[in-house]
Amino acid sequence: SQQGEEDPQALSIQEGENATMNCSYKTSINNLQWYRQNSGRGLVHLILIRSNEREKHSGRLRVTLDTSKKSSSLLITASRAADTASYFCATDRNFGNEKLTFGTGTRLTIIP
Amino acid sequence: EADIYQTPRYLVIGTGKKITLECSQTMGHDKMYWYQQDPGMELHLIHYSYGVNSTEKGDLSSESTVSRIRTEHFPLTLESARPSHTSQYLCASSEVGGHTQYFGPGTRLTVL
């Protein structure tokens, strides 16, 4: 089973609506990151939230982290067609070891 | 855009061929990584390096090998390609102590 699992696997919304995707993980973490991947491309880092933080904002992105539930959510407000991509959460498990474990991803489609 | 490059971007080869996937970064990062990703699926770490002459196997067993003779260069080699090696290969790098990974555009490999 995966350290990180995103939910839902796929999401389609109208442009302008908000998109929320969730990530669950199994072991203790130091921080959790969200990455975006456009089709057939590499990943781009979006935001990092540390284990002692509960919420973080960056532009139209809002990330929450609940370490008691081992879960995180990514909210994209006022979605745009350019937000169409796959979104992955990634956790690093061991202090001082920056290896990341990626989740299964949420495929987001914004309908113009 | 991150300064990390992968060549070739697409490669179609026959079974039994030896191939090398190139990855170079100009950011001076000590840590570099290779991931394997099937379409629409999560990333699996197959190799990583913490610096020159340092290479380690990742979480997913792979028949590929890597070398790290120069900081900026982290090539991946398959001695004898098979159809089961068909996948996308993503290279990434990060600073020592840094949590964010910077990804190249990927190499999509098809073995016939």
pLDDT tens by residue, A100-110: 889 889 999 99
- A48 CB neighbours in chain B (<8 A) are 99-100
Q: How far is CA B79 from CA A44, A86, B59, B66, B82, in A?
A: 30, 32, 20, 11, 10
| DSSP track, B6-46 | EE-SEEEE-TT--EEEEEEESS--SEEEEEEE-TTS-EEEE
pLDDT at residue B25 tops 70: yes
Q: Do residue B103 and residue A102 have CB atoms under 8 angstroms apart?
A: no
* B41 interfaces chain A, CB cutoff of 8 Å: yes
Q: Do residue B45 and residue A98 have CB atoms under 8 angstroms apart?
A: no
pLDDT, tens digit, 9 for 90 and up, residues A37-63: 998 889 999 999 999 999 999 999 999
Interatomic CA distance for residues A46 and A89, integer angstroms: 10
**What are residue A87's DSSP bridge partners?**
A36, A106
Q: Sorting pLDDT into bands at 50, 70 and 90, what band is B111?
A: very high
pLDDT at residue A9 tops 80: yes
Beta strands B43-51 and B54-57, pairing class: antiparallel
Cα distance from A74 to chain B (closest Cα, Å)? Answer: 17
* Residue at B28: amino acid letter: G
User: Which of A91-95, A97-101, B62-66, B85-89 is the least confident region?
Assistant: A91-95
State the pLDDT at residue A99: 81
User: ∠ at Cα A92 (A96, A50), nearest 5°?
Assistant: 90
pLDDT > 90 fraction of chain A, expressed in percent and rounded: 72
Structure tokens at B105: 């555009």
User: Which of A20-34, A82-96, B68-82 is the least confident region?
Assistant: A82-96
Q: Do residue A44 and residue B45 have CB atoms under 8 angstroms apart?
A: no
State the pLDDT at residue A74: 97
Rounded mean pLDDT, A14-32: 93
Rounded mean pLDDT, B36-50: 91
pLDDT at residue A77 tops 90: yes
Rounded mean pLDDT, B47-51: 93
* Residue at A14: amino acid letter: Q
Interatomic CA distance for residues B102 and A88, integer angstroms: 14
Burial class for A100, CB neighbours closer than 10 Å (0-12, 13-18, 19+)? buried
**What mean pLDDT value characterizes chain B?**
93
